[in-house]
Amino acid sequence: KKEVQYGPVSPEKRTDPAMEKWRDNRFGQFIHWGLYAIPAGYWKGKYYKGAAEWLKSWAKVPMNEWAKLAEEFNPEQYDPEEWASMAKQMGARYVVLTTKHHEGFCLWPSQYTDFDISNTPYQKDLLKPFVEAYNKAGIDVYFYYSVLDWYHPDWRYALKSEEDKQAFERFKTFTKNQLSELIERYPSVKGFWFDGTWDASWKASGQFSYELEKHMKQLKPGLIINSRMRADEWGSRHFDSNGQMMGDYASGWERKLPTDTSVLHNDWEACMTVPENQWGYHKNWEGHVKTPTELIEMMVRCTALSGNFLLNFGPKEDGSIREEEQLLVKEIGNWMEQYGNAIYNCAYAGLEKQDWGYFTREPGSKTVNMVVCNIPVNKALRIQLPKNLFIQHYEYMGKPLSKLTLEEIGKNEYFIHLGKVKTKQPFVINIQLTSEKTDNGLYQKAKT
């Protein structure tokens, strides 16, 4: 065990109401919106297939040229009420919006930089109406904040000289000022999603990130901060040098999902792009665009492993939402309307995973949700229960799709036989578990 002074600020599994709400939310909307939405993956007529919010880097655009984009930023169709109602329709219970991405442009009027919304034709604060609209829709608001700032003169990738160190001290003060400003201006914010913290300069600032997390949580008790914000004094990130998670949930799952129960030890969240790798708006998505069904299954997998799923949207420069994302709102929204109760407030069910899909369960509930994503060719869903548990009841959640029958095929092992099922989306069967063996689970007429 290493002596770690600047590791976790909060316990690894917080039990306060704010953190319980974070868990209950389960499904969130990520929004990447900034100046990068203007060029949208093209620079001087050339197409760049990389992530659109990184275009400045791919096209090697000097900052003074990139910054000129602020003079064009005027999102006339920006309607946060519309965004919030779409998020609500989709069934998202929280939202994470980029207040400042690596480009350094701030969507709010910051007193600590001129590179912000007040110096654009739009001028007005984009954040205030956003927070109000989403809160009014009952959706918790989180702020994405990139420490890495390509615009700020005092940003340093590494601290190689005394000058670097002095500059980065000024940068750390700027960072702390901006984060305090965001909490003070938008006090209903529930937490921060930090990014841009992989460089040597930040890895050498473990004590600072420790004190910054403490400071932010003093400003706003209950604030929730992702593990990506933190380094310890040895340069370990997300988890300190003794493997203790820093921040309030593990946020290393970016465009990838966990596959086993080792993640259960901590709260965690996976963030996901709709195309292979685009967060900010790109005019032409290349490659596979995930279908609503694929994204629903990813969300279910996260819930089944007690994690959150954060699905990304990249609004256009004018504030409108692209067709592909509007389709997701509709399709995922329909699914959540019928099956949301297998996601919200749910977590790992403690049952052995089966090939047909996922078990989820509201902690402490006797009802287990079977989310079926792959109907077996024999139309039989295998269930293996721990030795002291039996199935007392079973039925479809929502609109029944067929007649169900239960067959005991072994010790605490069952098949639920589906009739012929026609469906384009995953569906849910609820099973009631009981600890005493009863035969009514077998002979009771299944509700269909």
Ligand X SMILES: COc1ccc([C@@H]2N[C@@H](C)[C@@H](O)[C@H]2O)cc1
Question: In the bound complex, what is the minimum distance in angstroms from residue 51's beta carbon to ligand X?
Answer: 5
Question: In the bound complex, what is the minimum distance in angstroms from residue 235's beta carbon to ligand X?
Answer: 17
Transcribe 91-112 into DSSP letters: T-SEEEEEEE-TT--BSS--TT
- DSSP H or E segment with residue 35: none
> Which residue, 53 or 317, has its beta carbon nearer to ligand X?
53
> Which residue, 197 or 345, has its beta carbon nearer to ligand X?
197
> Which residue, 34 or 333, has its beta carbon nearer to ligand X?
34
Transcribe 274-329 into DSSP letters: SSSS--S--SS--SPPPPHHHHHHHHHHHHHTT-EEEEEE---TTS---HHHHHHH
> Which residue, 51 or 133, has its beta carbon nearer to ligand X?
51
> Which residue, 140 or 195, has its beta carbon nearer to ligand X?
195
Phi then psi dihedrals of residue 383, to 5 deg:
-135, 125
Distances, alpha carbon 170 to alpha carbons 152, 165, 174, in Å = 10, 9, 6
| Three-class secondary structure of residue 33 per DSSP | coil
Question: In the bound complex, what is the minimum distance in angstroms from residue 255's beta carbon to ligand X?
Answer: 8
The CA-to-CA distance between both ends of the chain, in Å, stands at 57
168-196 per-residue burial string, b: 16 or more CB within 10 A, e: under 16: beebbebbbebbbbbbebbeebbbbbbbb
Question: In the bound complex, what is the minimum distance in angstroms from residue 370's beta carbon to ligand X?
Answer: 32
Rounded CA-CA distance 105/181 in Å is 15
> Which residue, 54 or 94, has its beta carbon nearer to ligand X?
54
Question: In the bound complex, what is the minimum distance in angstroms from residue 195's beta carbon to ligand X?
Answer: 5
Question: In the bound complex, what is the minimum distance in angstroms from residue 98's beta carbon to ligand X?
Answer: 7
In the beta sheet, which residues pair with residue 31?
A: 97, 313
Residues 130, 84, 150, 113, Cα dihedral to 10°: 0
Of 225, 199, 195, 198, nearest to 211 by C-alpha is 225
- DSSP H or E segment with residue 24: helix 17-25
Question: Which residue ranges make up the site for ligand X (CB under 6 A)?
Answer: 32, 51, 53-54, 195, 254, 271, 279
> Which residue, 149 or 195, has its beta carbon nearer to ligand X?
195
Q: Nearest-CB residue to ligand X?
A: 279
Residue ranges of E strands in 113-188: 140-146
Question: In the bound complex, what is the minimum distance in angstroms from residue 278's beta carbon to ligand X?
Answer: 9
> Which residue, 116 or 195, has its beta carbon nearer to ligand X?
195
> Which residue, 50 or 376, has its beta carbon nearer to ligand X?
50
Largest CA distance in the chain: 79
| CB atoms inside a 10 Å sphere around CB 369 | 25
> Which residue, 35 or 51, has its beta carbon nearer to ligand X?
51
| DSSP 8-state class, residue 45 | T
> Which residue, 253 or 396, has its beta carbon nearer to ligand X?
253
| Three-class secondary structure of residue 252 per DSSP | strand
| DSSP 8-state class, residue 399 | S
Question: In the bound complex, what is the minimum distance in angstroms from residue 228's beta carbon to ligand X?
Answer: 9
Of 406, 386, 387, 385, nearest to 395 by C-alpha is 406
* Residue 399 burial by Cβ neighbours in a 10 Å radius (0-12, 13-18, 19+): exposed
Question: In the bound complex, what is the minimum distance in angstroms from residue 141's beta carbon to ligand X?
Answer: 17
Question: In the bound complex, what is the minimum distance in angstroms from residue 158's beta carbon to ligand X?
Answer: 16
Question: In the bound complex, what is the minimum distance in angstroms from residue 151's beta carbon to ligand X?
Answer: 15
Rounded CA-CA distance 281/404 in Å is 45
Place of tokens 């407030």: 345
